[in-house]
C-alpha cells in the first residue's frame, strides 16, 4: 500500500497549488482527481474557458468600431462559433497540460479516480473501470470544489435549460438567452453571447446585479450593459422554467406581484454554486459537514479530524480560485510548522466583463451598516487621457478611507483593465496605506492606473487634479 505525507483530493486551483507547495516543503505528496484532466472547474469549465470566450467575443465586438480608429474593415465579418469553441478548448487543454507538467516537475503522484475516506488516514481511489486501490496518508486536504446550483423547481436538461458548463460549448448563438441570476457568471456569459448577436435578458431576485459588490459598481455596470443591449429584470422572483420544444418559457414575479413571461431558445441557470462532497465519505473520517453542505473548518482550515484540512469552494467564504490557492498554500505551510496568514478582507473580487469590474475591502454599504465614519474619493475614466486614446471611457475608481486615520478601507473600480489594476489596491491595503500614501505615489502617464491616484487625491480632500 502506497504511503504519503499529504494527499489532496481535488486538482482545482486550491488542490494543485496545495500539492505543489507541499512538495516544495519536502512532503511526499499525492493528488487525486476523478476527471481525466487536471485543473478542476476553474481550468476546465470555469475561469479559463469563460475568459477565452470573453476575449474572442471582445475581438469581434471591437471590429464593429474599427472605423472610429480609421481602420476600414471590408467584406463580411462573421462569427464562427465552432472555431471559437475549439480555440477555447485548446486554451483549456494547454492550461490543464501545464498543471500536469507541474505535478511531474514536483514529483507529485497523480491518481485518477474518486477519492473516498475509509478512515482518517486511509483513502480509497475508485477508477472509472470500477477497480480501486487504497493508499495511506498521514495528512489530507479536501479540495473538491463546487458545482452549479439550481432552484428546486427547475429541471436542467443540459440542452435548452443549461448551466455555465453547457454555456461554454453551445453549437449555436442563441436567438434569445434568458439568464436566471445576475451574478458574476451569468453577466460574463451573457456578455459573450450578447456580443455575438443574441438577445440577452437577465432575471435577478435582488434589486440589482452583482449584488455582492458595491452598489455604485452595480449601477454603472447596469448602465453600460443596457447601452450594449442587455435587458434586466431585477427584483423578480422566478416562478417557473419550462421547456416547450426548442423554446424555454420563464415566468417571474416582480415586487408588485405582477407576473412577466420571457420566452427564449435557451435559459442559463446561474444562481450560484454549491459545495461538492459527493463520494467523499467524510463521515468515515470523522469530518463534519454543515447543513449547507460545506466542510466545517476552524481558523486554520482544519476539519473535525485533526489530520484532515479543507480549502476552497468546499469551505466557508467566497468561491474564488485565488482564495482557494491562498488557502492551499496556508495549509501546506501550517503542516510544515510555519505560521502563515490570510486576510480574507483583502481577497479581491473581479467581474471579467468589458468594462471590467474589480473590488477589494469593504463596500460603502458595509461601512454604513457598521457605522464606520468614512470619506469617499472617486475619479471617472473619461477624464483619463489613456482612456480617451483607446475609447475606453466608461467607469470610475472609488476609494473609501477612514474619516479619521485616512487608512484605505475599500477600493471599487469599473473600467478598462480593472482586473489588473486592483492589485495595486490590494498591495496598498496589505501594507495599511492611507489615501494620501497612494496619492503621493508617482503613476506613469498616460495610464489607466492614474485613476487610482486621482481617486486617492479626491479622498484626501477633494484634491483631484484632472476633473
Output the furthest CA–CA distance in the chain (Å, rounded): 69
Look-up: residue for cell 417571474? 252
Separation of alpha carbons 263 and 268, rounded Å = 12
- HSE (side-chain half, CA atoms, 13 Å) at 36: 3
Separation of alpha carbons 81 and 87, rounded Å = 10
Cα–Cα distances in angstroms (integers) from residue 76 to residues 60, 73, 79, 199, 231, in the given order: 12, 8, 10, 21, 28
Active site residue 322: no
Residue 86: CB atoms within 10 Å? 11
**108 phi and psi, to 5 degrees?**
-95, 130
Give me the sheet containing 231-233, strands edge to edge. 161-162, 266-269, 176-180, 199-203, 231-233
Let me know: does 46 contact 74? Beta carbons within 8 Å. Answer: no
Residue 330: CB atoms within 10 Å? 21
The enclosing H or E element of 190 equals: helix 184-195
Beta-bridge mates of residue 248? 243, 264
Separation of alpha carbons 197 and 294, rounded Å = 39
Separation of alpha carbons 43 and 99, rounded Å = 9
DSSP sequence for 332-358: HHHHTT------GGG--EEE-SSSEEE
**Distance of alpha carbon 135 from its chain centroid, rounded?**
33
- HSE (side-chain half, CA atoms, 13 Å) at 244: 9
Q: Residue 100 contacts by C-beta under 8 Å, 6 or more apart in sequence? A: 38, 110
Give me the sheet containing 259-264, strands edge to edge. 237-244, 247-253, 259-264
Let me know: does 270 contact 186? Beta carbons within 8 Å. Answer: yes
Among the listed residues 65, 69, 445, 466, the single catalytic one is 445
Cα–Cα distances in angstroms (integers) from residue 420 to residues 37, 297, 400, 423, in the given order: 28, 31, 19, 6
Separation of alpha carbons 430 and 424, rounded Å = 10
Q: Are strands 114-119 and 122-126 parallel, antiparallel or unpaired?
A: antiparallel
Q: Which residues are catalytic?
A: 445
Amino acid at each position: 500500500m502506497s504511503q504519503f505525507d499529504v494527499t489532496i483530493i481535488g486538482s482545482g486551483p486550491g488542490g494543485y497549488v496545495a500539492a505543489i507547495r507541499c512538495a516544495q516543503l519536502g512532503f511526499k505528496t499525492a493528488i487525486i482527481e476523478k476527471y481525466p484532466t487536471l485543473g478542476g472547474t476553474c481550468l476546465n469549465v470555469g475561469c479559463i474557458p469563460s475568459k477565452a470566450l470573453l476575449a474572442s467575443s471582445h475581438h469581434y465586438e471591437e471590429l464593429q468600431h474599427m472605423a472610429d480608429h480609421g481602420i476600414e474593415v471590408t467584406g463580411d465579418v462573421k462569427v464562427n462559433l465552432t472555431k471559437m469553441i475549439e480555440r477555447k478548448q485548446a486554451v483549456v487543454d494547454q492550461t490543464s497540460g501545464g498543471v500536469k507538467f507541474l505535478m511531474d516537475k514536483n514529483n507529485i503522484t497523480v491518481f485518477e479516480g474518486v477519492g473516498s475516506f475509509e478512515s482518517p488516514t486511509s483513502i480509497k481511489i475508485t477508477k472509472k473501470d470500477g477497480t480501486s486501490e487504497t493508499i495511506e496518508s498521514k495528512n489530507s486536504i479536501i479540495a473538491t470544489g463546487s458545482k452549479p446550483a439550481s432552484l428546486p423547481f427547475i429541471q436542467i436538461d443540459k440542452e435548452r435549460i443549461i448551466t455555465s458548463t453547457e454555456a461554454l460549448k453551445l453549437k449555436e448563438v442563441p436567438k434569445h438567452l434568458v439568464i436566471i441570476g445576475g451574478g458574476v457568471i451569468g453577466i460574463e456569459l451573457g456578455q459573450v453571447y450578447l456580443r455575438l448577436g443574441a438577445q440577452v435578458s437577465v432575471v435577478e431576485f435582488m434589486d440589482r446585479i452583482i449584488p455582492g459588490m458595491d452598489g455604485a459598481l452595480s449601477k454603472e455596470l447596469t448602465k453600460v450593459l443596457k447601452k450594449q443591449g442587455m435587458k434586466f429584470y431585477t427584483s423578480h422572483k422566478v416562478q417557473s422554467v419550462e421547456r416547450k420544444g426548442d423554446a424555454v418559457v420563464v415566468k417571474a414575479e416582480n415586487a408588485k406581484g405582477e407576473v412577466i413571461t420571457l420566452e427564449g431558445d435557451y435559459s442559463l441557470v446561474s444562481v450560484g454554486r454549491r459545495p461538492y462532497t459527493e463520494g467523499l465519505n467524510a463521515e468515515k473520517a470523522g469530518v463534519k459537514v454543515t447543513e449547507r453542505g460545506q466542510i466545517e473548518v476552524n481558523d486554520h482550515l482544519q476539519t473535525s479530524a485533526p489530520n484532515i484540512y479543507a480549502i476552497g469552494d468546499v469551505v466557508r467564504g467566497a468561491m474564488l480560485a485565488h482564495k482557494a490557492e491562498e488557502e492551499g498554500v496556508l495549509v501546506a505551510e501550517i503542516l510544515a510548522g510555519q505560521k502563515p496568514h490570510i486576510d480574507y478582507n483583502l481577497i479581491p473580487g473581479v467581474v471579467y466583463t468589458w468594462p471590467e469590474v474589480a473590488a477589494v475591502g469593504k463596500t460603502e454599504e458595509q461601512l454604513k451598516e457598521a457605522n464606520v465614519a468614512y470619506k469617499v474619493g472617486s475619479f471617472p475614466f473619461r477624464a483619463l487621457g489613456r482612456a480617451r486614446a483607446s475609447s475606453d471611457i466608461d467607469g470610475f475608481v472609488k476609494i473609501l478611507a477612514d474619516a479619521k486615520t485616512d487608512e484605505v478601507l475599500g477600493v471599487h473600480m469599473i473600467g478598462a483593465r480593472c482586473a489588473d489594476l486592483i492589485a495595486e489596491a490590494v498591495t496598498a491595503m496589505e501594507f495599511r496605506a492611507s489615501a494620501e500614501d497612494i496619492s503621493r505615489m508617482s503613476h506613469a502617464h498616460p495610464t489607466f492606473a492614474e485613476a487610482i491616484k486621482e481617486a486617492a487625491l479626491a479622498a484626501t480632500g477633494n484634491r483631484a487634479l484632472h476633473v
